[in-house]
Structures are given as C-alpha cells and as structure tokens.
C-alpha cells in the first residue's frame, strides 16, 4: 500500500505542468483599463473587445533581485482608436468645437448687448416701443441656432463618433 501511494505521488509530480493563469484586459466606457483572470467576470458588452494579456516576468522583482524592467528603457505604446487616430486627433477635434462654441457665445452676448442698448436709447427718447433692428434680431436667431447645433455636436455627436471608433472617452474631455 505504501509503495502504491509513493507511485501515485510520483506520477502526480511528474504529470503536473507549469500552471499559468491567462489574464484578460478591456477598457470600459469611462476609459478605465480593467484586468481579470476569469473571462466570466468580463461584462457582456466588453467581451468582444477583451484581449488576452500576457504578464511580463521581466517586470516582476522578487526579494533582493531588482527587476529587469528597472534596467531597460521603457517604450510607451501610443493608444489609437480602431481607425488609427490617437489622442491628439480627438483632443484637437473637441478643442476646436469648444473654441467655436465659445466664439459663438461671445458674439451672441454682443448681439444681446446691442439689443439692450437699443432698448435703453428708446426709453431715453421717451418714444413708445420701437422696433429693434431686424438685422440684429435675425443675427440673434441665427446665433441661437448655431450655438444649439455646435453644442449638440460637442455633447452628443462627438462622443458618439468616439464611441463608434473605440476611442477613450477621456480624449474628448477638456
């Protein structure tokens, strides 16, 4: 019986292979990287985009032995969306929309000031209600439409485009 137990233990030791866990990486809608070794823990919406992630043993240090990563220069891979566009592209696009919105808002404020000045002049003259300049009113209405359109592009269309391109959401934030 003892001999049988020794043989079984030897067979188990010899048949045991090196066990290594496979890790998975995915990026959620907030742009955060997540890792797990259990694919069942990956949310359904990210399973198609999750990638196997191999650990780099050279970056691990144990005890007094410093890791090899401390000795080698680290090259940082720039992240890109599925069309090959990086953070600079998305940041520039969102910055241009913010700048356009700011300019439109400043122009709108000037038009409101012109209308207010016109009303003040009419009150000083003591005349009854006078019609404001129709060109200023038209400009005000056009600016309101442009501001609404640009705001929609910045707050709805651009995030949707970035989501479809699988870009990090943080790339379009201020």
Residues 166 and 100 in one domain: yes
**Tally of domains in the chain:** 2
- Residue 78 is assigned to a structural domain of this protein: no
Contacts of 69 by beta carbon, 8 Å cutoff, 6+ apart: 56, 58, 59, 61
| pLDDT score at 60 | 57
At 61, list the tokens.
Answer: 């240090």
Q: What is the pTM of this model?
A: 0.53
| pLDDT score at 58 | 64
Contacts of 133 by beta carbon, 8 Å cutoff, 6+ apart: 118
- Residue 74 is assigned to a structural domain of this protein: no
Confidence of residue 65 (pLDDT cuts 50, 70, 90): low
**Residue 100 belongs to domain spanning:** 87-172
Could you tell me if 118 and 131 are in contact, meaning their C-beta atoms sit under 8 angstroms apart? no
Residues 44 and 120 in one domain: no
Quote the CA–CA distance of 36 and 17 in Å, as a whole number.
22
Residues 101 and 34 in one domain: no
Per residue in 103-126, pLDDT tens?
999 999 999 999 888 888 877 776
Per residue in 69-84, pLDDT tens?
555 565 666 788 888 8
Q: Which residues pair with 62 in a beta bridge?
A: 65
Residues 101 and 166 in one domain: yes
Answer whether residue 19 shows pLDDT above 70: no
Residues 38 and 104 in one domain: no
């Amino acid at each position: 019986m003892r001999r049988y137990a020794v043989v079984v233990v030897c067979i188990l030791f010899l048949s045991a292979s090196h066990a290594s866990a496979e890790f998975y990486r995915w990026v959620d809608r907030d742009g955060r990287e997540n890792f797990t070794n259990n694919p069942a823990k990956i949310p359904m919406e990210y399973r198609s985009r999750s990638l196997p992630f191999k650990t780099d043993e050279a970056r691990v240090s144990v005890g007094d032995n410093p890791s090899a990563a401390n000795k080698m220069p680290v090259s940082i891979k720039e992240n890109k969306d599925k069309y090959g566009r990086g953070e600079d592209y998305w940041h520039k696009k969102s910055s241009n929309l913010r700048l356009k919105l700011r300019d439109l808002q400043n122009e709108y404020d000037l038009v409101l000031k012109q209308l207010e000045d016109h009303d003040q002049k009419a009150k000083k003259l003591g005349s009854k209600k006078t019609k404001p300049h129709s060109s200023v009113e038209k400009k005000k209405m056009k600016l309101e439409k442009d501001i609404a359109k640009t705001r929609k592009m910045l707050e709805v269309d651009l995030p949707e485009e970035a989501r479809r391109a699988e870009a990090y959401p943080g790339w379009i934030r201020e």
